[in-house]
Amino acid sequence: GTLSYKDAISTLTSYKLGLKGPSFTLYTACSTSLLSIHLACRSLLTGECSIAAAGGVSITYPKKNGYKYHEGMTSSPDGKVRTFDAEAQGAVFSDGVGMVILKRLEDAIADGDTIYGVIKGSAANNDGGRKVGYTAPSVEGQAEVIQAAHSFAEVD
């Protein structure tokens, strides 16, 4: 079939910039960026690479005008986002790009890099069919993956 650049953007970027090591594009709905960071951390820890770029992109084209709520989906019924609020009802989607450059801490220190944060642990999971839909995690699954990340980081 025809190669879609959105499906191969990481490989194309690696080719154009002469980057070596793991290079892949993934999609896991809302967890895409976090999973890419998790996998980049694992590649750094196993020595597959010494520096990693990880993140996510969401661009809707052609642009759609207005806001349309779909019953049973993750969008907010009133078009408002109330993140971490007891009255949160869903999300409002838009375009965006986020990227982080990662290195092992000892390498960043040795290279004199500016360090903006340290990732002590991460984890990934899927809780199968025990949730309302394939794009929405269960409360139990979220708790389990957070505990796994804490365990990996050796924090309580």
Note whether 95 and 136 are within 8 A (CB): no
Strand 52-58 versus strand 96-102 pairing type: antiparallel
pLDDT category at 62 given cuts 50, 70, 90 is: confident
Residue 115's CB is within 10 A of a number of other CB atoms, namely 10
- pLDDT range class, residue 134, cuts 50, 70, 90: confident
Residue-wise pLDDT tens digits, 11-57:
999 999 999 999 999 998 888 999 999 999 999 999 999 999 999 99
- Any idea which of 64-68, 113-117, 125-129 has the lowest mean pLDDT? 64-68
Q: How many Cβ atoms from other residues are within 10 Å of residue 1's Cβ?
A: 3
For residue 135, is pLDDT > 80?
A: no
In whole angstroms, give the CA distance from residue 123 to residue 84.
21
Domain boundaries, the chain: 1-59+97-103, 60-94
pLDDT tens digits along 79-90: 899 988 999 988
The rounded distance, in Å, linking the Cα atoms of 79 and 21 is 41
Q: Give the chain's mean pLDDT.
A: 90
Q: Residue 42 and residue 39: Cα distance in Å, rounded?
A: 5
Q: Where does the pLDDT of residue 73 fall: very low under 50, low under 70, confident under 90, or very high at 90 and above? A: confident
Question: Does the pLDDT value for residue 131 go beyond 60?
Answer: yes
pTM: 0.83
Q: Which amino acid is at 86?
A: A
In percent, how much of the chain has pLDDT > 90?
58
Q: What is the DSSP string of 63-123?
A: ---S----TTSSB-TTS---TT-TT---B----EEEEEEE--HHHHHHTT-----------
Beta-carbon contacts of residue 93 (< 8 Å; ≥ 6 apart): 58, 60, 75
Residue 3 has pLDDT above 70, yes or no: no
